[in-house]
Structure 1
Amino acid sequence: MPGSPQRAALIQQAVKGRSLWDDARRRLLSNKAALAGMVVLAFMILVAVVGPFLTPFHYDTVTKTDVWMAPGQGGHLLGTDSLGRDLLARLVAGLGVSLGIGVVATGVSLLIGVVWGAVAGYVGGRVDEVMMRIVDTLYSLPFIFFVILLMVTFGKNIFLIFLAIGAVEWLTMSRIVRGQTLTLKQKEFVEAARAAGLSSRQIILRHIVPNLLGPVVVYVTLTIPAIIIAESFLSFLGLGVQPPMASLGTLIANGAQDMELAPWLLIFPSLTMVVTLMAFNFIGDGLRDALDPKDR
């Protein structure tokens, strides 16, 4: 029928413009590399969550009769290490630890960096000057020195790794957010919010932060692999995850020591890390392209 509600709804849908997020989602899903990265990452997360319940061995079970078994021997699909521990179980557990550190530490850096950068950029003046000089001072401290200082002061534990890495990675986030905030606070909608009597806190939370989501989301997807690499570097030096717990970094470090006797101990963790980091990078590149307003 010409005047039916269904026809009117179709006409309204046809003339309705796509929002920024709808357009970004469409372009992201049309990016084959980003889509492949999301599929691979979803698989990795599923393995990290469900894998420990499906593997026939526990990651820290020592079996002296199964030392240096090659992949496929004795029921060990990926072989065993010098203590007879199943590599598949340790790889699954290590993947979960590395992803967990990446997500939690990124969350810490996201929370601190967004709040710090938004406040500094919006308030400006002397407050901005002081806050950004603090960021510059922290930037001047070597990352490894900062981590060693925390380890010596508070001892070695996995939660300290979250704090140490997250407390360093927020610095770049704050600079990105500050730069975007300096641009946004000159926009008409912020001026209208000021004229309406909204406080600075309300303007930052309701108008500034929501409009920062685009660059922040892109940076988050690139921060997680950087944090995983940082954790692996610390674990390689013996400052990260402590035995008997495993991470991709500790597995690679142990595999490097035994590379000549058991190359599979280095190959499988290294491949897992490479695939995981590539998935994050593909997703980050896809989000950057999808949220770029110049490509709309």
Structure 2
Amino acid sequence: MSQPTQQSELLAEQEALARPRTTGEGPVGPKGLSQGQIVRKRFLRHGGAVVGVSILAAILALAFTSVGWGPFAGWWKYGHTDITPLVHDGAPTLSLAPFRLGEHPFGQDRIGRDLFAMTMRGAQQSITVMLVIGLIAGAIGVVVGAVAGYFRGWADAVLMRLTDVVIIVPALLLAAVLSAVAGRRDEGTWFGAVAGQHGVLLLGVFLGFVLWVGLARLVRGEFLTLCEREFVDAARLSGASSMRIIVRHILPNAIGVVIVNVTLTMSSAILLETALSYLGVGVKAPDTSLGLLISQNQDAFSTRPWLFWWPGAFIVLICLSINVIGDGLRDAFDPRQRPFRASARSGR
């Protein structure tokens, strides 16, 4: 007789816990949050990630509105190719106390081009390459990793051997070949014509088809683990197709790994583009990028250091912002991440 009594007591206790608590103003209880709301709250609690988003948004707004982009005109009076007489021997006219931009806030180079306009144009090109690489590498890496990890067998073997081949091919060598072919515009080749008009997009597409291998391996590992979970077996028994299982059941559980690694790929991509432009196989003049500005002004570091400081500062800010955003996304998507409270531990 004691067992039914214990069961009834447990049921009564569960009903009491499920019943909302009431106050003078009405029922009070824990409000259910969706997965997106939980992720957003965790991300907003990450102070570094919020600062990173703010800095990156400010750089994007400044770069794409100041000197214009495509058919849209900018509010800055100089373009990145305009040559004007030197003002104060090209020194920056920016003043903080009192705040004043002056004629050339970032200074001028030796021939009179405005460094602010060139830096903004360089930031545009570097960010464009970074976004194109992130989209292409992310899409290819997710598809290859998902197919290899879910279907396994011959599909896994073929895709992973393809990944090994791409890994051993040096991106710098391929970029040098691409740059040499694109530079032969006098021969009238279709590739040279496309490269002359859309060189930055072409560079981003090329690097995107090279930098997906790391993400593919990580996604494959996640799929191999998640395919053994009970919810995948339940989806198979219910008659769900392989595409539905991959897209609706497995991929949402691996989205944290995907987003974090895409942000890290974008951060390394902008450094790679900077290195390629620095070595002369990336963005070519008369266009410019942050890496190309550093390469062109490295000899003036001791005499005109501002020509080196400003592009380098923007590279550092962009990369740091993306890295801390990736850290915030990792903490937001990982349910095992919990903030450390030193006061609670000391109390214990």
Decide: shared fold, TM above 0.5. yes
CA distance in 1, matches of 2:234, 2:304: 66
Q: Tell me which protein shows more helix as a share of its residues.
A: 1
Question: Corresponding residue for 1:173?
Answer: 215
Q: Any idea what SS the aligned residue of 1:273 has?
A: helix
User: 1:130-175, CA deviations, whole angstroms, 9 ceiling, x for partnerless residues?
Assistant: 1101101111111211222333445552222112211111111111
Answer whether contact 2:128 2:200 (CA < 8 A) is retained.
no
Deviation at 1:200, TM superposition (A): 1.7
Residue of structure 1 aligned with 2:232, choices 186, 190, 194: 190
Deviation at 1:68, TM superposition (A): 5.2
| Amino acid of the structure 2 residue aligned with 1:40 | I
CA distance in 2, matches of 1:16, 1:99: 40
Structure 1 range deviating more: 210-219 or 230-239: 210-219
Answer whether contact 2:263 2:323 (CA < 8 A) is retained.
yes
Deviation at 1:260, TM superposition (A): 2.6
Aligned-residue sequence identity (percent) comes to 38
Q: CA RMSD in A?
A: 2.5
Residue of structure 2 aligned with 1:71, choices 92, 115, 121: 92
Residue of structure 2 aligned with 1:47, choices 62, 67, 74: 62
Residue of structure 2 aligned with 1:225, choices 261, 267, 290: 267
Question: Corresponding residue for 1:207?
Answer: 249
Larger radius of gyration: 2
Q: Any idea what SS the aligned residue of 1:205 has?
A: helix
| Amino acid of the structure 1 residue aligned with 2:278 | F
Alignment of 1:81-230 (within 5 A): 81-155=109-183, 157-230=199-272
Deviation at 1:29, TM superposition (A): 1.1
CA distance in 2, matches of 1:75, 1:225: 33
- Provide closer, same or farther for how the CA distance between residues 67 and 158 of structure 1 changes in structure 2, counting only shifts above 3 A: farther
Deviation at 1:51, TM superposition (A): 1.5
CA distance in 2, matches of 1:162, 1:231: 9
| Amino acid of the structure 1 residue aligned with 2:332 | A
CA distance in 1, matches of 2:80, 2:215: 35
Segments of structure 2 that go 5 or more residues without pairing to the other structure are 1-19, 68-73, 95-101, 184-194, 339-348
CA distance in 2, matches of 1:251, 1:205: 43
Segments of structure 1 that go 5 or more residues without pairing to the other structure are none
User: 1:84-125, CA deviations, whole angstroms, 9 ceiling, x for partnerless residues?
Assistant: 110001111111111111011110001111011100100001
Deviation at 1:75, TM superposition (A): 1.4
CA distance in 2, matches of 1:93, 1:152: 24
TM-score (ref. length: structure 2): 0.77
Deviation at 1:216, TM superposition (A): 1.0
| Amino acid of the structure 1 residue aligned with 2:223 | T
Answer whether contact 2:235 2:245 (CA < 8 A) is retained.
yes
| Amino acid of the structure 1 residue aligned with 2:168 | S
**Residue 4 of structure 2 is aligned to residue 15 of structure 1:** no
Question: Corresponding residue for 1:62?
Answer: 83
Residue of structure 1 aligned with 2:305, choices 263, 266, 269: 263
Deviation at 1:66, TM superposition (A): 6.0
CA distance in 2, matches of 1:190, 1:79: 60
User: 1:191-242, CA deviations, whole angstroms, 9 ceiling, x for partnerless residues?
Assistant: 2222222222232222222322111111122221111000000000111111
User: 1:28-87, CA deviations, whole angstroms, 9 ceiling, x for partnerless residues?
Assistant: 211211111111111111112212112110111123656951111981111111221100
How many residues are aligned here?
A: 291
